[in-house]
Amino acid sequence: MNRAALRRRCLSFPGSSETFPFAPETSVFKVADKVFAISRLGQHPLQVSLKCEPLLAEQLREAHAAVRPGYHLNKRHWNTVTIDGSLSDRLLQEMIEDSYDLVVSQLSRSRRRALGWRIET
């Protein structure tokens, strides 16, 4: 996955947006004003920080050297992933989607509905 593919993936979800609150080179991807991914897209090697369920975050870190605790983030809930070719594009895409889903799942029912989420009863 390259930086263009990473940006496309992050912006492919309903309601997602890219902002630059920290610096022009740091992309912050949000849904409903909540962050789900952060990346300096011009950095080499490319890295992205993603929100993650705490237990899964630990499992991913143990299984993959490219996955580390979130850089300058809550290390319990965030992983920083180095995109160096050691992880499949499919796994990276799933991690990005999981981060988005985790953020959306914490939104109000009306916001989830507005994003097209099926609301469980």
Report all structural domains of the chain as residue ranges with CATH numbers, in order of start: 3-114 (3.90.1150.30)
For residue 99, what are the contacts with CB-CB under 8 A and spacing of at least 6? 36, 37, 50, 51, 52
Count the residues in the chain. 121
Got the DSSP string for 86-102?
SS-HHHHHHHHHHHHHH
For the segment 105-121, the average pLDDT, to the nearest whole number, is 82
In the block, tokens 């490219």 appear at 66
Tens-place pLDDT, residues 79-111:
999 999 999 999 999 999 999 999 999 998 889
User: According to the model, what pLDDT value does residue 75 have?
Assistant: 87
Tens-place pLDDT, residues 35-75:
999 999 888 999 999 999 999 999 999 999 999 999 888 88
Q: What angle do CA 83, 103, 93 make, to 5 degrees?
A: 30
d(C-alpha 11, C-alpha 25), whole Å: 17
- Straight-line distance from the first to the last Cα atom of the chain, in angstroms, rounded to the nearest whole number: 37
pLDDT band at 120 (very low <50, low <70, confident <90, very high): low
Q: Which of 71 and 26 is assigned the larger pLDDT?
A: 26
